[in-house]
Every structure is written in C-alpha cells, then in structure tokens.
Structure 1
Amino acid sequence: MPNPIDVPLTAFRVFVTIGRYGNFTRAATALGITQSAVSRQVARLERLAGARLFQRSGASVTFTSEGRQLHDALKEAISTLELTAQQLVQKRLAHDRLIVRTSMPSFAMKVVVPVLGEFSKRHGIQIDLVTSLATPLAQDEFDVLITRHMALPDAPSWELVRERLVCVGSPACIAARGTDPQQQWPMILCRLRPDAIAAWAMARDIAADMLRTVASYDHYFLAVEAAIGGVGFLVIPEMLVRDALHNGILRRADDTAIASGAAYTAYVNPASRHLQQGERFCRWLKGMLRESPP
C-alpha cells in the first residue's frame, strides 16, 4: 500500500486527459509533455490499481471496466482543480478586470448585466459581477459596490437612479381582479423588500394588515415570474419590469408610480487597486441610465 499522503495527482491528471482525447499522443500534446512521460504515468496508475486501465487499438485507447470506473470518479475533481488553477492565473494576470459587487441580484440581472458588454467593448475593461447580500468588509476583494441600502464611508460615490414603485399584474389578473377594492387584491410579496408593498399600501391609504398576501418569494426575479403567471399583483421597482411592461406580459394595475425615497448608488472601494477604472465605470453607468432611464 502506498503512503496515504502519496496521492499521484500528476498521474490522475494524465489519466483524465487521455480519457478526454482518447489518444496518448494528443494527451501528451495537450499537457505539454512527451508521450513516454504519459506512458510512465499510466504505468504508475496501473501498478497502483493492480489492473489494466486501457485497451489499446492502434493509436486509439479505450477504458477497461476498471479504467472507466476510475475515470468517472476522477474527472470532475480534476476539472475542478484545473479550473481553480486557471482562475488563479487569471487573477494574477488580469490587471484590467473590475470586480463589481452588488446587494441587488434582480437589479443586476435586469439593469446592469445587459450593458456590461458595451462598457467592455468601449473601454477594454472586463467586469466580474458578484452578488452578495452581506455588508462588505474592508478585507473583501471588490472594486465597485452598487447598492440601495449600504454605504462605503469616505468612498467616491455616484447616485445612479432614484427608485419608483409600481403595482403590476398579468393582463388576465388585471381583467379579473383589477376593479376589486385594492385591499382585496391578491398580492405577491418579495421577502427581501417588504418595505415596497408597505410604501404602496401607505400611498393608497390601506392598512398594511389589510393586504391579502397570496404568495411570497425571496427575490424579485422569482416574484416577477409569479406575476406573469397570474398568481397575483406585485409591487416592484419600475426598472425591473420595464421590458415586461413594454412586451405586454405585465401591465400596470394603476396609473401611479410611487417615489420610494431610495436611491441606487455606486461606490468605488477606496482600497481598490483600480480606482480610475472603477470611477470610469461608475460615471459611464450613471450616464447610460440617464440616456436610457430604467
């Protein structure tokens, strides 16, 4: 028995690469080693396994039953190790990448992500977008924070857009229930934003405890799908349903948009190594939202 810590990682990687290419020569080329080095690693594994792992037919190879079993056990782990190594190299080399963090996944999906390609094309800067609901810490690695309810003290900031709330529903839901008293409407709640439905109710002079909630979801992108499916009415920032309203799959349940008082703000992390690029991104995003208001 080998020592338990003597894990033949190189041999495992060679073995999985052979399975990927079905040929010793192509595997050697992909790994940047000689074919004889590939053969030595295979021989090492076969001694360890006490069985043949490949059947050879000319230049091609196929797994034996023992080889197939080992390959199934190793392939995902080796792929994960290779991806991790690749990410480490990219992190070291990619000085022009910005890490943009946001606490608002629905806003990121509907408003930020669709314009990132245009920014990268214009400025040659790639964006890594990270969503997290946790308050950022000083040691966290990010360059820009986009948020509605957090702040970075002493950080350069740009107000991107002020929030307006609307109540929406599917055409069928509005046709069936839109003329009912509003306190009887079946409402969908986004658990991350209970303040939104409360603000709408206050503007309508409806006591919050009079609302009839029929479903609740963690995120707006889930609640929107429920509204499209006719589950009920949803109070939501207008920018998150702009496309759905334009396409007619959702409609406004009433004519009034409510200013919630919230603002979406972009901060540049003072500890960022990419202050200028971060500021450029924030200014550009603010300009984009002004030209095409969400």
Structure 2
Amino acid sequence: MKMSKQFPLNALRVFEAAARLGSFTKAGTELGMTQTAVSYQIKLIEENVGEPLFLRRPRQIVLTDVGQQLAPRVSEAFEMLQEAVLSARGDINTALQINSTPTFASQWLARNIGSFQLAHPNIAVRLTTTEKVIDLIAESTDIAIRAGVGDWPGLDSHPLMRSEFTPMLSPALAEAIGGIHEPRDLLKLRIIDAADPWWRLWFAAAGINDPDLEGRPTSRLGAQSFEARAAVAGQGVAILTPDFYPDDVALGRLYQPFDLRCSDGRDYWLAYPHTRRNTPKIRAFRDWILNAFAPAGRAASPGTVDQTVN
C-alpha cells in the first residue's frame, strides 16, 4: 500500500479515532471536529489508499477488510509516536498499566518490580489485580499477567513460570497431629477451600481417589495468597504453588510434606496486544521480565523465554 509524500497525517488520526470508536460522530467529539469534517478526512485517506475503509450503514460504520488491516497498524504507529515524544522530553508521567492475578502480583511482582523502575525511571507502573481475564483493549491496559495456556486471540504471549501445586501447612499444625506421614494424614486437618479442583487432582496423583471432600466446609478466600496466610496462621492445609513461598518455607512458617507436585496445564503468562508489541514501554517491561525468568547467567532474547520456572 503506497502513500504519497503529501499524505495528510491528520487524516490518519481521524481514521484511527473512527476505527477505534466505531463512529464518525464519536471521533469528531473526541477530536473537536464536526461529523462533516471527519467524513472529509476519511474520504481523503480512502482516495489516497484507493479502497473504501468503512462500510457506511444506517447509524453504523463497519471497517472493510482493507480498513481492518490498516487500523491496528495506524494505532500502533500513533502509540509509538506518543511514547517517543514522552521519552524525548523525559516525561516522568509515562504510565505502564499492568493487570495481574493477585497472587502473582503480591508474591512475585511486588518483590521484584523495583529493579524495573530503577532501570526505567521515566515509566510509572500502575498495577491492578483480578482473577478474571480482562479485555486489554477495552480496559486500556498495556500488559496482563495471566494464568492459562497462552492462546488468547489478538495477543502476544510468553510463558513465565509453571503453576505447580501441592499441599502446604504450618509445621506447628503438622506436629499437633503427630506429623504428616502419608497423604491421607492431610484429611485429619481442615482443608482450606476443599472445593478447589486442585485438591482432587493432587489426591488422585497421590493414589487417593476417594478423599471425601464434599462434606467439608468450603471457603473461597479470593486468591491463593490469602489461603497461604491462613495456612501460615495454622488454620488448615492449603493447596499452593510452592515457588511463590520460598521465604515462608525458609523461615519455618510453611512446609511442604510431600515432593509430589501437580499441574492442571494452566501456567503464568505475559500477554499484551500484538498491535502494540513494539511500543517502547511494553517492550521494556517484556524484556525485563523475560530476563528475570531466564536461566541464571543468560538473558532471554526479546520476545522469547528460554525456560519456565519449575
């Protein structure tokens, strides 16, 4: 698709807004233009491209195939221009919006994000947490750290760490029942969130297919990190990802009675919109976190990860 040197940049801005908002009227409101002026700018770019970019329907506009190809590239270009200007003037208000699962945020990200901020003092990190998978575009979020299998349409994704799980409890609680010697001993204790499907998977792998969890009280604390705190307090045995709690193990607050770890195939991934993969702030965070999870002494290449954490 070849453009003339005199191609009006303003027309691209209008096209980007109309494509993003799905409305000439809304685009005009955002840009401070009349609907007639918006239509004129769209006509200019369509004449230059040589193809219609929108299908005009009653009270609705829809991107054509050509428009769908062009829109994400234009959005990415404007994002990069904005980032470049902010970087050039040293604007400390450049914000990186990260959405993470609560446990990853509290048990890994909060402990390590300081090194990213020291390396990139011009990027202000804004962190939100949720267990739900959000729409990165609709929520205006730059990056997500999710649990899953990494197959989200429209997103680039990179594996960070395996989400393995095993029972963990406080040593004092284990001693209170004479120690944990075999998997069935765990059933003498309160099971924190007995409805969690991880429990059945682990007990089955341990050779116990009838753990009788149905009659036990269920309590959803909302995040694995909260269940870990309950286990540290001696309120029961929790099913946890041990790689999140090395400090608690080292300090004797938690212990893992069995070597057996299981996985349901849902690991931790870094994800961001494919169309924004070259945005400087996203690229900076991607390279930092992938290097953090790379083997010691080796840096992960941009956009790759050498291995997951076991």
Counterpart position of 2:204: 202
**1:228–1:215 distance in 2 versus 1, CA, 3 Å:** farther
Asked if 1 retains the 8 angstrom alpha-carbon contact of 2:160 and 2:290, the reply is yes
Q: Within 1, Cα distance between the matches of 2:204 and 2:190?
A: 15
Give TM-score scaled by structure 1 length: 0.60
Asked if 2 retains the 8 angstrom alpha-carbon contact of 1:142 and 1:269, the reply is no
The offset of 1:174, in angstroms, is 1.6
- Aligned identity (percent) is 19
Q: Partner letter of residue 98 of structure 2?
A: V
- Give the root-mean-square deviation of aligned CA atoms: 2.8
Q: Within 1, Cα distance between the matches of 2:280 and 2:198?
A: 35
Asked if 1 retains the 8 angstrom alpha-carbon contact of 2:99 and 2:145, the reply is yes
Equivalent residue for 1:96, pick from 91, 94, 97: 94
Kindly name which structure, 1 or 2, has the bigger radius of gyration based on alpha carbons. Answer: 1
Q: Within 2, Cα distance between the matches of 1:282 and 1:161?
A: 14
Counterpart position of 1:237: 241
- Partner of 1:133, secondary structure, is coil
Contiguous gaps of at least 5 residues in structure 2: 1-90, 297-308
Q: Within 2, Cα distance between the matches of 1:270 and 1:213?
A: 45
Give TM-score scaled by structure 2 length: 0.57
Asked if 2 retains the 8 angstrom alpha-carbon contact of 1:100 and 1:145, the reply is yes
Counterpart position of 2:160: 160
After superposition, residues 239-278 of structure 1 pair within 5 angstroms as 239-270=243-274, 272=276, 275-278=279-282
The offset of 1:272, in angstroms, is 4.7
Q: Within 1, Cα distance between the matches of 2:236 and 2:197?
A: 18
Asked if 1 retains the 8 angstrom alpha-carbon contact of 2:159 and 2:269, the reply is yes
1:141 aligns with 2:140: yes
Q: Within 1, Cα distance between the matches of 2:277 and 2:186?
A: 52
Q: Within 1, Cα distance between the matches of 2:94 and 2:129?
A: 20
**1:95–1:126 distance in 2 versus 1, CA, 3 Å:** closer
Number of aligned residue pairs = 200
The offset of 1:223, in angstroms, is 1.2
- Partner of 2:288, secondary structure, is helix
Q: Within 2, Cα distance between the matches of 1:161 and 1:113?
A: 16
Counterpart position of 1:170: 170
Asked if 2 retains the 8 angstrom alpha-carbon contact of 1:99 and 1:129, the reply is yes
Q: Partner letter of residue 156 of structure 1?
A: D
Equivalent residue for 2:116, pick from 119, 129, 139: 119
Counterpart position of 2:126: 128
Q: Partner letter of residue 240 of structure 1?
A: F
Asked if 2 retains the 8 angstrom alpha-carbon contact of 1:163 and 1:238, the reply is no
Asked if 1 retains the 8 angstrom alpha-carbon contact of 2:169 and 2:232, the reply is yes
The offset of 1:151, in angstroms, is 5.0
Q: Within 1, Cα distance between the matches of 2:140 and 2:151?
A: 16
- Partner of 1:159, secondary structure, is strand
Q: Which has the higher strand share?
A: 1
Counterpart position of 1:226: 230
Counterpart position of 1:26: none
Q: Within 1, Cα distance between the matches of 2:259 and 2:143?
A: 35
The offset of 1:260, in angstroms, is 3.6
Asked if 2 retains the 8 angstrom alpha-carbon contact of 1:223 and 1:234, the reply is yes
Q: Within 2, Cα distance between the matches of 1:214 and 1:291?
A: 42
Q: Within 1, Cα distance between the matches of 2:186 and 2:230?
A: 19
**1:134–1:214 distance in 2 versus 1, CA, 3 Å:** closer
Q: Which has the higher helix share?
A: 1
Q: Within 2, Cα distance between the matches of 1:291 and 1:115?
A: 16
Counterpart position of 2:189: 186
- Partner of 1:127, secondary structure, is strand
1:290 aligns with 2:294: yes
Summarize deviations over 1:182-231 as a string: whole Å, max 9, x none: 4623243348x823222211211223652374562222222112111212
Summarize deviations over 1:228-279 as a string: whole Å, max 9, x none: 1212211111122221111111111212222442221101124559723213
Mean alpha-carbon deviation: is it higher for 121-130 or for 171-180? 171-180
Summarize deviations over 1:159-187 as a string: whole Å, max 9, x none: 10112212111111222331363462324
Counterpart position of 2:83: none
- Partner of 1:188, secondary structure, is coil
The offset of 1:143, in angstroms, is 0.4
Counterpart position of 2:76: none
Contiguous gaps of at least 5 residues in structure 1: 1-92
